[in-house]
Structure 1
Amino acid sequence: MTTTSGATETCAPLTPLASRAMSAAAADDVARALKALADPLRLRALSLISASPTGEACVCDISELTDVSQPTVSHHLKVLKEVGLLTSERRGTWVYYRIVPAHRGALRSLLETFAPATVDLTSRTAPPQPDAQPVDLDPLLDRVVRDLAERFPAIEPDRVRDVVRDSSTALARSAGVDRHLVVLTERFARQRLEDLARAATRDGVPHVLFVCVANAGRSQLAAALLHRYAGDAVVVRSAGSAPASDVHAHVRTALDDLDVGDAVFPKPLTDDAVRAADVVVTMGCGDVCPVYPGIRYEDWAVGDPALASPEGVDAIRADIDAHVRTLLRELLPDLALPSA
């Protein structure tokens, strides 16, 4: 550099100051994390996880934010996990995502600075720890009641509260869920309220309910296959007369092949689900379904995959697939079905 006097000066490195900069490796890590955050869905997913009463959420919860498929949502969560912002844990049927504790403060600052009206991380109940005392469910269930009452304004708030409380009790007793009881209660109660609303209005979309004993095999496969072929053209439910605590492991493998993600868990049979259905399909559960006029009832004689070999499960799935295709040809004659 040349001064006004004509002398040349050299730039002396500011070593003490430069030493305070982050290392190249740290800068690379931060840049990767910021790049991963530069997506609207991922930011919304983080805000949802942060705002969850239990500090966690699964693919099903996050899928409600968008019209993309669950596998696409899973990809976005995987990106956030790969850069160290999220951690995941599979518990039975479900995979839950949490914000890594070391980054919780930074993400809180980011979300609250740029979107303070959309996230509240400080007033939520702290996530339960493995060795912690049992969490008081009442305030968490009260929040579920408030959220669902807003979502279903046509249903009396007292009725919403009763459905939420009954759903929590039924799942805790019959399905044996524990740590993720609030999440499952919200989802199960939401389905029941949707069924209550539909039973009163009948929107013209076919509604099919599959029922077996445990809701851990046949009925789950049938529901997944029907949803795969028909999508939102049919509302599909499944339930069990004596629901298990989890889907059978080898059936879970078959369901994974159908890309259902974390969308399935054993649920008890309710009167609401039967009343809302146009078609009730039973599979090996006897005369457990209440009979209402105007509802079509079928019984499919298909094998139980609970004790079947992998080959046996494949054969049962093929049998159920054939039944599902026949049913869809009757319900939706114009639906194009893939070749078997």
Structure 2
Amino acid sequence: MTTAGTHRRDLPPTGHDPGCGPRVESHAIGTDAAGTVAATLKALADPLRLRMLSFLATAPGGEACVCDLAELADVSQPTVSHHLKVLRDVGVLTSDRRGTWVWYRIAPGYKAATSTLLESFAPAAVHARGEHPHLAGLEDADAALEHLAAELTATHPEVGADVVLRTVRESYTALARSATVTAHLLALTDRFARQRLADLARAPHDPRPQVLFVCVANAGRSQLAAALVHRYAGDRVVVRSAGSTPAADVHPAVRPELAALGASEPFPKPLTDDAVRAADVVVTMGCGDVCPVLPGTRYEDWLVGDPALASPAGVAAIRDELDARVRALLAELLPDLDLPRP
């Protein structure tokens, strides 16, 4: 029994109860690091600065001057300069003067972090509404996946039963990580596994070019680009899309555009090595250096805006830009392809 002014003898001086589990202070971010991160986040916590950052991330050449950003924000150039200075002071931006103008770009060390902020965190913050359904998975996933693997082994005997089963299990696990509902998870696993097995078993005599579009979430740009290729080239090009950090679903603003292009039930898919190995052309859009670089593969990086937070007019403009780029790519890959006029 304890009385006022006394301490229980069975508690350590800190008052921590040994029965409540191990202490975890050593797992937390350090005080100095937390201060640095907080200062950077405070600098970013302004709608205008986030719009400027988004503009710089997708601007041609990855840079812009004060006059460009003033036009974007419809504010005075001194106001823009103030906001840019805040971002430069915390190290997010760098700048250099050329003649009478100062040009800004995202600092190299912040490019990957900026992509994550604008293309993964921002859409989640905008579109999240309440609690997501609990991801319970299939009650008997193993039996369902083994049954699916047996079916696919019959259609891909050249790959081998062990490889098929492993591919099916990996596909299910990868999709389940980002799924918010599980009603169609097995059907999506079927489609994704079939695609991966086709990439693994790509026939060496298949003359068709294979193109892979990669962005962060595989929920907007890469899906649109793949749908445009399929619309213009049909089966003459094998086209894939993937995301370095796939979202749970395609962006709502992009769905009408995909439906107009005839895309059938698109869903975000993770990037896999077999998709990269099978591709003749890999086109990246804002996903950084996540793609493995393989000899003999052509790589392109397209600076295209992210439709996740764009207005309907902005999404249409992004679609038009992708349309022009896809047409140019197809003109190289299939010179005899009769492309309709824009």
TM-score by length of 1: 0.59
- Which residues of structure 1 form unaligned runs of 5+? 1-129
Q: Name the counterpart of 2:296.
A: 294
Confirm whether residue 250 of structure 1 aligns to residue 253 of structure 2: yes
Give the CA deviation at 1:137.
1.5
**Partners of 1:176 and 1:197 in 2: how far apart?**
31
Confirm whether residue 188 of structure 1 aligns to residue 192 of structure 2: yes
Structure 2 counterparts to residues 24-39 of structure 1, below 5 A:
none
- Which residues of structure 2 form unaligned runs of 5+? 1-133
Give the CA deviation at 1:175.
3.9
Q: Residues 316 and 143 of structure 1: is their aligned pair in 2 closer, same or farther, counting only changes over 3 Å? A: same
Confirm whether residue 273 of structure 1 aligns to residue 275 of structure 2: yes
1:48-75 residue CA offsets vs partner (Å, 9 max, x unmatched): xxxxxxxxxxxxxxxxxxxxxxxxxxxx
Q: Name the counterpart of 2:208.
A: 205
CA contact (8 A) 1:175 1:266 kept: no
Structure 2 counterparts to residues 20-59 of structure 1, below 5 A:
none
Q: Residues 223 and 258 of structure 1: is their aligned pair in 2 closer, same or farther, counting only changes over 3 Å? A: same
Give the CA deviation at 1:202.
4.9
Give the CA deviation at 1:143.
1.1
CA contact (8 A) 2:211 2:280 kept: yes
Q: Name the counterpart of 1:32.
A: none
Provide the secondary structure at the position in 2 that maps to 1:324.
helix
Q: Residues 269 and 133 of structure 1: is their aligned pair in 2 closer, same or farther, counting only changes over 3 Å? A: closer
Q: Name the counterpart of 1:237.
A: 240
Confirm whether residue 160 of structure 1 aligns to residue 164 of structure 2: yes
1:136-178 residue CA offsets vs partner (Å, 9 max, x unmatched): 1122111110010000010110010000000000000134451
CA contact (8 A) 2:199 2:275 kept: yes
Q: Residues 291 and 175 of structure 1: is their aligned pair in 2 closer, same or farther, counting only changes over 3 Å? A: farther
Q: Residues 283 and 154 of structure 1: is their aligned pair in 2 closer, same or farther, counting only changes over 3 Å? A: same
**Partners of 2:137 and 2:307 in 1: how far apart?**
38
Moved over 4 A (4+): none
**Partners of 1:203 and 1:256 in 2: how far apart?**
29
TM-score by length of 2: 0.59
Q: Name the counterpart of 2:177.
A: 173
**Partners of 1:311 and 1:243 in 2: how far apart?**
25
Q: Name the counterpart of 2:149.
A: 145
Structure 2 counterparts to residues 218-233 of structure 1, below 5 A:
218-233=221-236
Bigger shift: 325-334 or 137-146? 137-146
**Partners of 1:317 and 1:274 in 2: how far apart?**
24
Structure 2 counterparts to residues 43-122 of structure 1, below 5 A:
none
Paired AA for residue 181 in structure 1? L
Q: CA RMSD in A?
A: 1.7
Give the CA deviation at 1:201.
2.2
Q: Residues 276 and 310 of structure 1: is their aligned pair in 2 closer, same or farther, counting only changes over 3 Å? A: same
1:54-101 residue CA offsets vs partner (Å, 9 max, x unmatched): xxxxxxxxxxxxxxxxxxxxxxxxxxxxxxxxxxxxxxxxxxxxxxxx
Q: Sequence identity, in percent?
A: 67
Q: Name the counterpart of 2:287.
A: 285
CA contact (8 A) 1:175 1:267 kept: no
CA contact (8 A) 2:159 2:201 kept: yes
